[in-house]
């Protein structure tokens, strides 16, 4: 039977993923850099474990080869620190790779390893998580509805407290501000660059542009040259985000970001199972052809982002192990098709708005 090594298996998401993978009958190897945490989890879940850090490439390579695994599922973030060594070791040892990153630079870095992965015959699937599976699949669906659109706007409305790991990842990426794809190139823009009123599926709300991993995956999946992602955020937070333009250099400064991360670590682990069970998210997407004026809108409703992340990550690993996928860098929708998101539990959609039309003009509010 094929086996999966879950790196960062004792983190908040990693431990949920490990339990889910075991429940689904996958052969799981638990892994991470902290010997005590791995040992405790091995005892608790009664599965084999491997302790290794990612600083030395030969150690990582030997750990994968020694564990005799078919796929790595990387749940250790910020992924800017963990994806590269694991991807390189996967390429060198012929091991499939899946992760749950939502970081644009990480996805771009993995895209750059496409050729090496093809030559090695391995598939690299980053962002098999809330960011980016729903929006990536929605983007692919919209591109099927309106061939060759020149712009894609995507958005999500989900109010929920993040896990501490997510907070740390956001702090780590603070100095980067915002990002969109414009004219086929990834462009850095200020934080909360554009504001837009969007009907995500439960009435209009204001969304601001955010540099989520969906920006990159939607571009790679569809080839659309202009992609922006909006996140619905209440007014006080929108103002704070705009302020971020001025405070980002301070937040990103080493002593400050280290202190924030340390404080974040003291606060709380992640959303409780109670709030995960009740959470939900509304996902919206619009493709436009600026020349013809044609526009299509589709929506999705999903369970709580953490619930979806666990389901998406484990399902992606199952598909990678069971399906004969084309090797190379693949986005979730690129690898498994637009319908992938509909196979996840509790997802409803696609809700399509009309046929291509020229109504409903875009409403941009000054950023
Ligand atoms: N794309 C999405 O939609 C999505 C959804 C949920 C979470 N995430 C991301 O997933 C990541 C994990 O989230 P979480 O809530 O599980 O965080 P967490 O509880 O803090 O767990 C992080 C895990 O990563 C490990 N880790 C971090 N840096 C490492 C490094 N340099 N080398 C080796 N191991 C390292 C940690 O090990 P130690 O304890 O030993 O440091 C821990 O096991 C975050 O980056 C978060 O943003 C993405």
For residue range 129-160, list pLDDT tens digits in order. 999 999 999 999 999 999 999 999 999 998 66
Span from the CA of 15 to the centroid of ligand 1 (angstroms) = 10
Least confident of 51-55, 328-332, 350-354: 350-354
Span from the CA of 76 to the centroid of ligand 1 (angstroms) = 4
Q: Which of 168, 143, 351, 185 is nearest to 269 (CA)?
A: 168
Span from the CA of 316 to the centroid of ligand 1 (angstroms) = 18
Element (H, E) at 320: helix 305-322
Q: How far apart are CA 196 and CA 150, in angstroms?
A: 18
Most distant CA pair in the chain, distance? 62
Atom index in ligand 1 nearest the CA of residue 8 equals: 43
Mean pLDDT of 30-36: 97
Q: What is the pLDDT of residue 361?
A: 43
Atom index in ligand 1 nearest the CA of residue 77 equals: 45
Mean pLDDT of 341-364: 74
Atom index in ligand 1 nearest the CA of residue 78 equals: 45
95 Cβ closer than 6 Å to some ligand 1 atom: no
Which amino acid residue places its CA nearest to atom 11 of ligand 1?
77
The architecture that CATH gives domain 133-305+344-366 is 2-Layer Sandwich (3.30)
Span from the CA of 11 to the centroid of ligand 1 (angstroms) = 6
Span from the CA of 213 to the centroid of ligand 1 (angstroms) = 15
CATH 3.30.360.10 domain position(s) in the chain: 133-305+344-366
Task: Label residue 363 exposed, middle or buried (CB < 10 Å: 0-12, 13-18, 19+).
Answer: exposed
What's the fold here for domain 3-129+307-337?
A: Rossmann fold (3.40.50)
85 Cβ closer than 6 Å to some ligand 1 atom: no
317 Cβ closer than 6 Å to some ligand 1 atom: no
Name which residue leads in pLDDT, 193 or 48: 48
Among 76, 82, 167, 210, which residue has the most ligand 1 atoms within 8 Å of its CB, making it the best to mutate?
Answer: 76
Alpha-carbon 206 to chain mean position? 22
Which amino acid residue places its CA nearest to atom 47 of ligand 1?
166
Q: What pLDDT digit, counting tens, does each position of 249-267 carry?
A: 555 555 555 655 555 555 4
The percent of residues in the chain predicted with pLDDT above 90, rounded, is 71
Q: What pLDDT digit, counting tens, does each position of 268-298 carry?
A: 566 677 666 667 899 999 999 988 999 999 9
CATH 3.40.50.720 domain position(s) in the chain: 3-129+307-337
Q: How far apart are CA 190 and CA 31, in angstroms?
A: 37
Per-residue pLDDT at 233 exceeds 90: no
Which amino acid residue places its CA nearest to atom 33 of ligand 1?
33
Q: How far apart are CA 300 and CA 298, in angstroms?
A: 7
Span from the CA of 150 to the centroid of ligand 1 (angstroms) = 35
């Amino acid at each position: 039977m094929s086996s999966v090594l879950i790196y960062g298996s004792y983190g908040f998401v990693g431990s949920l993923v490990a339990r889910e993978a075991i429940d689904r009958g996958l052969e799981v190897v638990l892994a991470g850099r902290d010997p005590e945490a791995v040992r405790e989890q091995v005892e608790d879940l009664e599965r084999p474990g491997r302790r290794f850090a990612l600083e030395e490439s030969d150690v990582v390579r030997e750990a994968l080869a020694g564990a005799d695994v078919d796929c790595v599922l990387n749940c250790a973030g910020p992924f800017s620190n963990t994806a590269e060594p694991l991807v390189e070791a996967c390429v060198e040892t012929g091991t499939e790779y899946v992760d749950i990153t939502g970081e644009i630079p990480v996805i771009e870095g993995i895209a750059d390893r496409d050729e090496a992965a093809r030559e090695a015959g391995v598939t690299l699937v980053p962002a098999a998580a809330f960011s980016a599976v729903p929006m990536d699949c929605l983007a692919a669906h919209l591109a099927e509805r309106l061939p060759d659109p020149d712009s894609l706007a995507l958005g999500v409305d989900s109010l929920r407290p993040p896990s501490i790991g997510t907070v740390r990842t956001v702090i780590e990426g603070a100095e980067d501000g915002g990002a969109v794809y414009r004219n086929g190139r990834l462009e850095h823009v200020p934080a909360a660059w554009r504001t837009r009123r969007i009907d995500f599926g439960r009435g209009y709300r204001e969304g601001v542009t955010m540099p989520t991993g969906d920006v990159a995956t939607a571009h790679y999946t569809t080839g659309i040259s202009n992609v922006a992602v909006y996140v619905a955020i209440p007014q006080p937070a929108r103002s704070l985000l705009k302020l971020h333009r001025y405070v980002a250099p301070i937040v990103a400064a080493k002593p400050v970001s280290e202190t924030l991360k340390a404080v974040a670590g003291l606060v709380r682990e992640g959303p409780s199972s109670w709030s995960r069970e009740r959470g939900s998210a509304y996902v919206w997407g619009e493709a436009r052809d600026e020349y013809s004026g044609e526009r299509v809108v589709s929506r999705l409703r999903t369970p709580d982002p953490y619930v979806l992340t666990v389901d998406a990550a484990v399902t992606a690993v199952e598909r990678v192990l069971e399906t004969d996928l084309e090797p190379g860098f693949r986005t979730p929708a690129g690898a498994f098709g637009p319908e992938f998101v509909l196979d996840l539990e509790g997802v409803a959609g696609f809700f399509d708005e009309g046929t291509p039309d020229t109504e409903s003009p875009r409403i941009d509010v000054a950023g």
